[in-house]
Amino acid sequence: MVRPYILTGGRTEPSHRELALETLVSATTSGIEAIRMLEHEEAAIVRLCETYQSVAEIAAHVGIPLGVARVLVSDLASAGHVRLHRPPTTSERPDGQLLRRVLHGLRSA
């Protein structure tokens, strides 16, 4: 078994500091083409992300701690092997009144 800090070179913080656990990740064409040249865990992440996966799901499926998953996903994103799809910020989310109107419309349908 390889110690988690070996996988990240001792780093504990991802280069993409705003990388949230719910951020969705998808593999890029270059990532899929590079699978044979990647480390085992990185290749597993790229394969898994052929369909959208959250950072938390990646950690669970690959069997690595969340902190390690964040660092590896961040590294893969910097290399262009995966794409990050960040959740909308609070200012980008619809307001509560709009959501209530939608819910009311759905209930009355």
| 48 burial via Cβ count (<10 Å: 0-12, 13-18, 19+) | middle
Note the pLDDT of residue 89. 66
Q: Provide the pLDDT for residue 90.
A: 62
Rounded CA-CA distance 29/86 in Å is 19
The model's pTM: 0.73
Please give the pLDDT value at position 53: 95
CA dist., res. 109 & res. 41, Å (int): 48
Q: What is the pLDDT along the chain (109 residues), one digit of tens a residue?
A: 556 666 666 666 666 667 888 899 999 999 999 999 999 899 999 999 999 999 999 999 999 988 889 999 999 999 999 999 987 666 666 777 877 888 877 887 6
**pLDDT number for residue 81:** 97
Task: Give the C-alpha separation, 17 to 93, whole Å.
Answer: 21
Query: What is the structure's pLDDT at 77?
Result: 95
| Tokens 């959208």 found at | 52
